[in-house]
Chains A and B, each alone.
Chain A
Amino acid sequence: MARFILRRLAASLVVLIGVSLLVFITMRLSGDPVQLLLRDGNPSQEDIERLRAALKLDRPLPEQYVTFVAGAVRGDFGESLRYRTPAMEAVLSRMPATLQLSLAAYLFALMLAIPAGIISALRRGGFVDFLTRLIALIGVSFPAFWLGLLLILLFAVRLRWLPVSGRGDGFVDGMKALILPAVTLGVAYAATLMRLLRSSLLEALSQDYVRTARAKGLRGRTVLLTHVLRNALIPVITVAGLQIGFLLSGSVVVEVVFSWPGVGRLVVDSIGQRDYPIVQAAVVLLAALLIMINLAVDLILVAVDPRVRLTS
């Protein structure tokens, strides 16, 4: 186990170096931040060069990359060109909002998908199955920005039950503010998970060991919980784990629609403004998080399914 984890961590370093190189190059190939910083003025070429030098963007690219990597190793990703604060500090300051939203969406999705998937599979071909599959299809098909705006229109503008956007002040308002973005983000995920769980359950229900268990006279609930569900959950756990990464990175649209001050919004704004340090810090951090999540998923699978063996 320890050797496996160490090998995976070593491989992760290579991935992180690759990610850092990729983000460094792509950002520099796609526009000049100095132009954007000065876009509201009429700078001369000399003015532009002076600011570029002050921001150390006039140095050769290899030198800039070495500086970036040397800093990154110490956790120093430089200073944001716009915020004038350390880039990693800016990213980390938004992380609680993103994690809060992602976690809430994740819990919402699990609470919705697991019972719906089970009921749908057990009532295969019936009205309830049809209804849950229809809802799942709609959930997958609705773009998040559209669903978010519809929810805002109904629950915030018309009924005024919930706030339109923002994180709210205090615990109660904070929880109320979380509902609409979490539902918006979680719906598509819940739909995916529900469909996957349903098909996994159907496959498991048709297996010989289920027939054997029933023939032995076990109660339906026991068969479901101890035999069917345990086997059906294996692909679900794999996808559910990987979907955490999707939730972290896929919340950009939801963060914009709900004015949620998270990492996704920060990164998108920073890409638009070519705020290199922020983008580099955020991409490396998110890549590291995803690597850790994948590792955790592998370890959980081993615990759940003894047939899975750890190999490099």
Chain B
Amino acid sequence: MARTPSGDEQIWVTRLTGAAGPTRRDLLRYGGGVAGLLAFGFPAIKVAAQDGEGPAALVNPEGEAPTEPSGQLTIALAFDPTNLDSAATYTVSNARWEGAVYSPLTFRDPNLVLYDGLDGRPSPADGFGLAESWSYTDDLTLTMKLKEGITFHDGEPLNAATIQAHFTRLQDPELASPQAFNYSTIESVEVVDDYNVIFHFNTVDPVMITKFAGYGAYITPAAGSQVEGFGTETVTGTGPYRVVEYVPDDHLTLEAWDGFWGSQKPLVQRLLYRVIPDDNTRLAELLAGNVDLASINTNQVAPIEGNPDLSIFRIGSPTVSGLRLDATQAPTDNLDVRLAIAHAIDLPTIIDTILGGYATPVPVWQSPFSFGFDDALEPYAYDPDLAAQHLADSGLETPVTLTFDILSGNSQVREFADAVKGFLDAVGFNTEIRIQESATYFDDYRFGNLGNICWFGWGGWTLDYDNTYYSMHKTGESYNPGFSNAEVDDLLVQQRTTLDQAERLDIAKQINAILIAEAPDVALYQSTTLWAVSNRIHNLYIPPDERFWWAGAWVDG
């Protein structure tokens, strides 16, 4: 999931001096000074800490919840949904509303806990997924029982035929779904009776239960989806909110659905999603009290900190950012050069200064939320002497010239790149930064046409190492422009042949060890997402993966 570091998808952070707000120099330096202008006059500081036991933040749980839905909650979207058919689109930002309109087959809560009933986790019956229970007959056959009595917003019943129709439609070439590949291991869906289906897989898919918890598995109606204009003019799901109006590039309005089948009911009468593409305009809307919830950039913290009506929540993101090193071109085809790069970067300083502390170092390309992350591992140590030694061992004459490609359109990425260049040049490199536009960047990345180093950021919505490692490190895969290691290839294939998660975890550890030794990339840090939240919102969990669960949340007034 290569993602641009713009808007609210990826939070790149800048340094803010002092807790009371930015200096004039900072204001001019960051965001064209606009955030600073907006900050003027709000001297107090209020930053809410993360709450709850999981990685999600629980907003303002105090107060008495209403018994009936009331009020309106306005959420800012940086990107237009473009289409409301869950099977026809595939963008992470759509997770903010999709869970309100549709129900997934399985349920992963805002704290990223999968309700599968295993290892002490809650039962599927207690969650808001459509499946009551499931079991594997063998590695290629999954029998699933659906919850009964569920209907879509228009009254169409949900049953086994619905599930079969949904996945058949998802794979239909006519739909050209960008999510089809996530479910391509499903050979067929067999209807047993009204509420029982059997999934037949063409190969083992150890991550499928997680994939059933979102995106392509937000179930669409069998009959309703055949209606002309489904996704643009009509939309029905089984979620706690129904679509009232969608005006592309402007807003999406949802209303509480009194027929919601789940144990937790919607308590906000209306969810209004407003498409506001500009960062500064979103900030202005927050400050004007017109928006209740929006993700913000770190250079927007100061204006919000002093606002008595708003709080800021910091949430660890599944996205890991770092540097990919091209092992097929000189000089990064030399292992010592790659290790020199890895040890030359003073990551703590970058995080403390350029990133304002809003990031967590990681040793491998997995966030701490990911299955396969190993907290026993340490990031590459910053050791300029060791880096210089590796460079000397490479046998190359210094300075060693490197090309470093980054995405255009984000001054903070540029700042980050400048810092990295500084550290690299200090140990004997001569680094040239090159800036590219996003569409060509990803093309060039995939075909190995970028330089020795390129910036890269990737999360992985399944929160499983298969999602990232397979396409980043297996030979010939889509996001692996050149790295090839037979042992890694074998391990990646092997982990896809078993549903035994303990065995898969052991494989992940082996892969981690090889990748750290081979340094095909330097994973640097897990990003932090900042959310500005109106204090009138209560009992809302802000999840790390942006898949909001709105039922249970309520608003004052």
Contacts and interface: CB of A to CB of B under 8 A. Distances in A.
Contacts of B476: 45
A33 B442 CA distance: 10
B289 to A, nearest CB: 8
Interface string A98-138: 00000000000000000000000000000000000000000
A36 interface: yes
A59 to B, nearest CB: 14
Interface string A72-86: 000000001011110
Q: Which of A39, A40, A163 counts the most B-chain CB atoms under 10 A from its CB?
A: A40
A287 B468 CA distance: 44
Interface residues of A, number: 54
A53 B176 CA distance: 9
B28 to A, nearest CB: 13
Contact of B1 (A40, A80, A274): A40
A85 B3 CA distance: 25
Chain B interface size, as a band, is 35 or more
A153 B393 CA distance: 57
Contacts of A153: 34, 37-38, 284
Contacts of A83: 82-83, 232, 248
A269 B1 contact: no
A41 to B, nearest CB: 6
Mostly, the B contact residues are: loop
B443 interface: yes
A38 B288 CA distance: 36
Nearest to A80: B82
Interface string A24-52: 00000011110111111111110110110
A39 B1 contact: yes
B278 interface: yes
B276 A165 contact: yes
B173 interface: yes
Contacts of A256: 277-278
Interface string B480-504: 0000000000000000000000000
Nearest to B1: A40
Interface string B76-94: 0000101101001111100
Contacts of B231: 84
Contacts of A44: 181, 471, 477-478
B442 A35 contact: yes
Contacts of A164: 281, 284-285, 288, 290
Contact of A37 (B85, B178, B250): B178
A258 B443 CA distance: 32
A47 B468 CA distance: 16
Contacts of B249: 94, 261, 265-266, 269
Given A40-B1, A266-B249, A152 B277 contact: no
B285 A165 contact: yes
Interface in B240-268: 247-251
B1 A54 contact: no
B180 interface: yes
Given A40-B1, A42-B478, A259-B276, A82 B250 contact: no
A160 interface: yes
A156 interface: yes
A304 interface: no
A206 B247 CA distance: 55
B281 A157 contact: no
Contacts of A266: 249
A149 B442 CA distance: 32
A274 B439 contact: yes
B82 A37 contact: no
Interface in A87-101: 90, 93-94
A38 B180 CA distance: 10
B442 A41 contact: no
Contacts of B85: 84
A31 B281 contact: no
A284 to B, nearest CB: 20
B288 A166 contact: no
B204 to A, nearest CB: 16
A258 B281 contact: yes
Nearest to B442: A35
Contact of A40 (B232, B275, B461): B461
A80 B232 CA distance: 12
Contacts of B176: 51, 54-55
A37 B478 contact: no
B1 A41 contact: yes
A47 B184 contact: yes
A166 B468 contact: no
A4 interface: no
A85 B533 CA distance: 34
Leading 10 A-B pairs by shortest Cβ distance: A31-B439, A47-B181, A54-B176, A261-B249, A42-B471, A261-B250, A37-B178, A82-B82, A40-B1, A43-B181
14 contacts: A35-B439, A36-B442, A37-B90, A39-B1, A41-B179, A44-B478, A85-B232, A156-B288, A164-B281, A257-B278, A257-B281, A258-B281, A259-B281, A261-B248
Interface of B: 1-3, 32, 34, 37-38, 80, 82-83, 85, 88-92, 173-176, 178-182, 184, 231-232, 247-251, 274-278, 280-281, 284-285, 287-288, 290, 437-440, 442-443, 446, 460-461, 467-468, 470-471, 476-479
Interface of A: 30-33, 35-45, 47-48, 50-51, 53-55, 80, 82-85, 90, 93-94, 146, 149-150, 152-153, 156-157, 160, 163-167, 256-259, 261, 265-266, 269, 272-274
Given A40-B92, A43-B471, A256-B278, 20 more contacts: A35-B446, A37-B178, A38-B181, A41-B90, A41-B178, A42-B479, A44-B181, A47-B180, A54-B174, A55-B176, A149-B280, A152-B281, A153-B37, A165-B285, A166-B251, A167-B250, A259-B277, A259-B278, A261-B247, A265-B249
